[in-house]
């Protein structure tokens, strides 16, 4: 699978770290722990078009919102995540050595 980073161009999937659903971008405020836990961890697993978060770990270190079809593996859209340098995404940055 190839993902076209808006900043780096087409890249092999192995350069990009899969994080999970884009639900992490809409963390509910003012909810109790159980509601936040359910929002982040209890989800459906539908077949078809999904929008997920990926981190271009071996490239520009940008957070990407990737829209793809899980049935055909077609990547439909890749967009930079606005405001990814702060907030919850800054805390979720994968640890470890990049290249």
Asked whether position 63 contacts Zn ion by CB under 5 A, the answer is no
Is 7 a binding residue for Zn ion by CB under 5 A? The answer is yes
Q: How far is the CB of 59 from Zn ion (least distance, A)?
A: 4
Three-state SS at 11: strand
Asked if residues 11 and 67 have their Cβ atoms less than 8 Å apart, the reply is: no
Q: Shortest approach of Zn ion to residue 9 CB, angstroms? A: 8
24 or 57, CB closer to Zn ion? 57
Residues 18-57 that bind Zn ion (CB under 5 A): 56
**Pair 53, 64: CB distance under 8 Å:** yes
State yes or no: residue 8 binds Zn ion (CB under 5 A): yes
List alpha helices for the chain, DSSP H. 33-41, 88-92
**Are 56 and 16 contacting, i.e. CB atoms less than 8 angstroms apart?**
yes
Residues 62 and 5: beta-carbon distance below 8 Å:
yes
Q: Give the contact letters, 65-84, x = binds to Zn ion (CB under 5 A), - = no.
A: --------------------
**Contact footprint for Zn ion (CB under 5 A):** 5, 7-8, 56, 59-60
């Amino acid at each position: 699978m190839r993902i076209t980073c808006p900043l780096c161009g087409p890249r092999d999937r192995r350069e990009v770290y899969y994080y999970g659903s884009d639900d992490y971008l809409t963390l509910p405020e003012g909810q109790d722990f159980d509601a936040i836990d359910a929002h982040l961890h209890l989800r459906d697993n539908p077949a078809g078009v999904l929008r997920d978060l990926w981190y271009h770990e071996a490239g520009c270190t940008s957070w990407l919102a990737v829209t793809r079809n899980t049935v055909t593996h077609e990547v439909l859209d890749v967009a930079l995540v606005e405001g990814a340098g702060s907030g919850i995404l800054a805390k979720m940055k994968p640890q470890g050595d990049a290249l």
